[in-house]
Amino acid sequence: MQTLFGASQTAKEGADLAFTDPLTGLGNQRRFFDKVDRLIADRADDPAPFAVGIIDLDGFKPINDLFGHEAGDDILIQVALRLRAAMDSHSAVTRVGADEFAFLYPMVFSEEAATEKSKMLIEILSAPYDVGERTARLSASVGCSLFYSGDETTEVLVRKAESALYQAKRSGRGRVVVYTREMEEAAKRMTRIEQALRRAVSAGEVEPHFQPIVDLKTRRTIGFETLARWTDRDLGFVSPVVFIPIAEERGIIGQLSQLVLRKATEAARAWPDDLFLSFNLSPSQLVDQNTGQHILNILHRTGFDPGRLEIEITETGLMSDPASAEKIVADLRRVGIRVSLDDFGTGQSSLGRLREFQFDKLKIDRAFVASILDDRPSEHIIRAILAMCEGLGMDVVAEGIEQEAQADKLVQFGCGGGQGYLFGKPANADATLGYLRDAFRGASHVAA
């Protein structure tokens, strides 16, 4: 067979090449899997743990862009040399992706030891690299997992190490995360919740609850925020803080959201028709161009006036794909649906966002409201937000009001709307109707 080297190749050389990374000369992904497979087989009778890990270079792409591909390759070769030099006679390191390396430590038996070894590798990789006349610096993140029992396959170990690496990356640069038994338990629990949630959504068992939003000065109810509630047969009550992120991550959020919006708009038809209904959209729904159409279909089917619907989105929701979010928001506003910016002041608040996007309303996060009475900075921040909203012509709702004194202060600063346990906790559709009958006693427009 003709090769790059122009010579004919023996079968052994061919096999070696298939297991070798041509750039660095280290083993490749196949070699890594092969080594771990063999070690698992060796440990069949002697179940001593061992560790595998994946190293990912932080910020390698910008370096490649800055110094050029040749220099990038040169750095990868230096990385490989350093890693190889750091291995003892039992251990192995291979290159498994563009800027990813995997190691195998047969004699590392504990999570602590795996962390120690990984930290050492990160340190070795963070010394400067010569690139011609210049020097470059890199950091690296590591995810590890340990083999504990014969039940684990190479694929499982690698998947756990990848999941640990993902967490390491997410928590910043230069970190090590070892996949622990607690993480395994948490992952299992998540899967249990996911399965129960899929069933519950198909069976229509997630319910909308409604929390009043009031005009702070008059205390009159002006609308309700829809909050999803789910009590599973086996798991019991599960908070939306737990199940909404799982629904997002596992692709159930669209279906869940449609179910809750349908039920919510059906319930809200019985309310006085000057009350609005507010509904939360998740970040992943702002990436899906079908979201707008799904909402409109539901409004059409339930006969709910789009002019009474408000959609709450967070800044995180705008960030992953601003162009897509902007299009969805524009589509919704065109048919008269109002759009609020939820949880303002936490997360990655960017005032620039308020110029790019048109919002009808802003909701001040309850963290500020909670400290308004005893914290001068919170007070100033709230006043600044209120002044800004006035200038931009946006309505404001302060979230999480629990005390009279907080409400008084907000009125004094000129905040128009309020929401919180002080005015009412989230309640189901029937209880909400009861609340409205009391609040609007004598008014004939609350359906009997």
What are the residues binding Mg ion (CB under 5 A)? 280, 312, 342-343, 399
| Helical packing angle, 240-249 and 181-202, nearest 10° | 90
> Is 407 among the residues that bind ligand C2E (CB under 6 A)?
no
Give residues 260-319 in contact with ligand C2E (rule: CB under 6 A). 260, 280-282, 312
* Beta carbon nearer to Mg ion, 163 or 346: 346
| Residue 240's binding partner out of ligand C2E, Mg ion, none, with CB under 5 to 8 Å set by partner kind | ligand C2E
Amino acid at 380: H
Q: Comparing C-alpha atoms, which of 340, 312, 410, 413 is closest to residue 370?
A: 410
Q: Which one of residues 143, 223, 240, 345 is an interface residue with ligand C2E (CB under 6 A)?
A: 240
| Residue 315's binding partner out of ligand C2E, Mg ion, none, with CB under 5 to 8 Å set by partner kind | none
| Residue 228's binding partner out of Mg ion, ligand C2E, none, with CB under 5 to 8 Å set by partner kind | ligand C2E
> Is 426 among the residues that bind ligand C2E (CB under 6 A)?
yes
Q: Which one of residues 238, 244, 259, 396 is an interface residue with ligand C2E (CB under 6 A)?
A: 244
Q: How far apart are CA 301 and CA 280, in angstroms?
A: 20
Q: Which one of residues 108, 342, 382, 417 is an interface residue with ligand C2E (CB under 6 A)?
A: 342
Residue 371: exposed, middle, or buried by beta-carbon count in 10 A (0-12, 13-18, 19+)? middle
Applying CB under 6 A, the span of 64-72, 152-160, 161-169, 420-428 interacting with ligand C2E comes to 420-428
Q: Which one of residues 400, 416, 417, 418 is an interface residue with ligand C2E (CB under 6 A)?
A: 400
> Is 239 among the residues that bind ligand C2E (CB under 6 A)?
yes
Residues 6 or more apart whose CB falls under 8 angstroms from that of 38 comprise none
Size of the site for ligand C2E (CB under 6 A): 24
Residues 6 or more apart whose CB falls under 8 angstroms from that of 354 comprise 341, 388, 392
- 207-215 and 417-419 beta bridge pairing: antiparallel
**Distances from the Cα of 107 to the Cαs of 31, 85, 113, in angstroms?**
19, 17, 10
DSSP string, 396-421: EEE----SHHHHHHHHHTT--EEEST
| Residue 284's binding partner out of Mg ion, ligand C2E, none, with CB under 5 to 8 Å set by partner kind | none
Q: How far apart are CA 244 and CA 370, in angstroms?
A: 24
* Beta carbon nearer to ligand C2E, 227 or 436: 227
The footprint of ligand C2E (CB under 6 A) covers: 211, 226-228, 239-241, 244, 257, 260, 280-282, 312, 342-343, 366, 400-402, 419-421, 426
